[in-house]
Amino acid sequence: MKKISADYVFPGNSAPIKNGVIVFDTNGRILELLNPIDDLIIWEEVEIFKGVICPGFINTHCHLELSYLKNKVAERTQLDGFVKDIIAVRDNFSDKERKEKIAIAENEMLLNGIVAVGDIANGNSTFKLKKHSTIKYHTFLEVFSLDSNAVEDIVERTNSLKKEYHDPSRISITPHAPYSMSENLVETVNKISRDIITIHNQETESENELFSSKSGRLYEQLSRINENIKDWVPTGKKSLPSYLPMYDPNKKILLVHNTFTDKKDVEFASNYSNNIYWCFCPNANEYIEGKQPDYNLFLNKKCTIGTDSLASNWSLSILDELKTITKKDPSISLETLIQWATFNGAEFLGFDELGCIEIGKIPGLNLIENVDLAELKLTSNSKINVL
């Protein structure tokens, strides 16, 4: 049994506790969470840290298999340019190089206090590592095609890949993006996916242009690489209200990026389903588009944090993402940010033992150092110490 404390303990699902004390066993299971205002504490038995203690971080959106593309893709090219650059370089690496970079990237996540990941996969290159990892993974097998006649082959190939995975309860099929799914494929995903899906949403303004008027940079890029886009029928509406009603509202749906999502979009999604989660990958948004979402639109919503991939980011650090949000909008409280980065992500992915410092949980514990304790804000010097 061990007892630790810090200037503040942020449980992840409740208000911070000044000088809170966490009692846990040798397996990291929480035995008690004590508040000095209410509980008798023998301080000689407590190891005290400077900073803020919070649960281990949950990375709800990552593409671990793309780790080999770190520093290989130009910044701020917008999504169409990003896709173009990936296509140009992705075949220049051996399987050995890819797997080495995947292992390095996972170790980076461990050092940054990430305990669980919602990871997108298009192949099996991460499967072996995940089987033996201390990080908990839910792997999303991503499907996409605008060819209505290709659905049967896609499903067969994806189901074959799914059978290779070591934990059938932690792998599921998910759509890629609104602009890469035929109606037939969406219908099939609704039938064969589990109760949880994730989809890239409004990552670029030209996604909205594609839906509303069949124009824009994304449409032009898709026209160069996919002949099926010629059959695209514009809706006269933005992306989210055009595609979201095609998906089962009873499933948990993680909308990822949301860089060009506005107030009406948020209201539409909230009215459509009570199971909507919003994932932000701030540094990937900066890397690709040089723009971030309007976070104030989502303050009363179920939000989570992702890192995206090293093809589109400088690091795999949830703390770095939170620092970027803080710089963009200092009015968002640290309590809110930590809930997004811990409890909400664990809830979405269904990792019940993670996400909050609560009796019986094994959430992992992170110490955030160099915090502005007077204002309870992250600083540019804030860093993680995994406890």
The arithmetic mean of pLDDT across residues 258-285, rounded, is 98
Query: Is 220:204 a contact under the CB 8 Å cutoff?
Result: no
**Cα separations (Å) of 119 from 198, 292, 316?**
10, 22, 12
Structure tokens belonging to residue 218: 């994304």
**Residue at token pair 């809830």:** 347
Percent of residues, the chain, with pLDDT higher than 70:
100
| 57-204+238-353: CATH architecture | Alpha-Beta Barrel (3.20)
Q: Is the separation of the CB atoms in 186 and 247 below 8 Å? A: yes
Which residues have a Cβ under 8 Å from the Cβ of 157 and sit 6 or more positions away? none
Q: Which two structure tokens, joined as six digits, stand for 36?
A: 């000095």
In 3D, which of 285, 253, 250, 257 has the Cα closest to residue 140?
Answer: 253
Domain ranges of the chain: 1-55+355-387, 57-204+238-353
Query: Residue 120: its pLDDT value, please?
Result: 98
- CA 152, chain centre distance (Å): 29
**Tens digit of each residue's pLDDT (9 = 90 or more) over 170-179:** 999 999 999 9
Please give the pLDDT value at position 332. Answer: 98
pLDDT in tens, 6-32: 999 999 999 999 999 999 999 999 999
8: three-class secondary structure by DSSP:
strand
Q: What is the pLDDT of residue 387?
A: 96
Read off the tokens for 254: 């993680």
Q: How far is CA 341 from CA 74, 203, 355, 360, in A?
A: 28, 20, 8, 20
Q: Which two tokens stand for residue 257?
A: 């990026």
The pLDDT score that the predictor gives to residue 26 is 96
Torsion angles phi and psi, residue 163, rounded to 5: -70, -20
Q: What pLDDT sits at residue 118?
A: 98
Rounded to whole angstroms, the Cα distance separating 61 from 80 reads 20
pTM (two decimals): 0.97
Question: What letter represents residue 215's amino acid?
Answer: S
Q: For all residues of the chain together, what is the average pLDDT?
A: 97
What is the predicted pLDDT for the residue at 284?
A: 97
State the pLDDT at residue 68. 97
Average pLDDT over residues 177-204: 97
Sort residue 307 into left (φ over 0), alpha (ψ -120 to 50) or beta: alpha
Band (193; pLDDT cuts 50, 70, 90): very high
The predicted-structure confidence for 341-377, as pLDDT tens digits, reads as follows 999 999 999 999 999 999 999 999 999 999 999 999 9
Instruction: Tell me the CA distances in angstroms from 201 to 9, 40, 89, 175, one per residue in order.
Output: 34, 49, 25, 11
Question: How far is Cα 8 from Cα 49, in angstroms, rounded to an integer?
Answer: 9
Start-to-end Cα distance in the chain: 14
The CATH topology of domain 1-55+355-387 is Urease, subunit C; domain 1 (2.30.40)
Q: Alpha-carbon distance 74 to 89, whole Å?
A: 11
* Helix intervals (H) in the chain: 78-89, 95-111, 127-131, 151-162, 183-192, 205-213, 217-225, 239-243, 263-272, 282-288, 318-328, 334-341, 343-349
34 band by pLDDT with thresholds 50, 70 and 90: very high
pLDDT tens digits along 49-78:
999 999 999 999 999 999 999 999 999 999
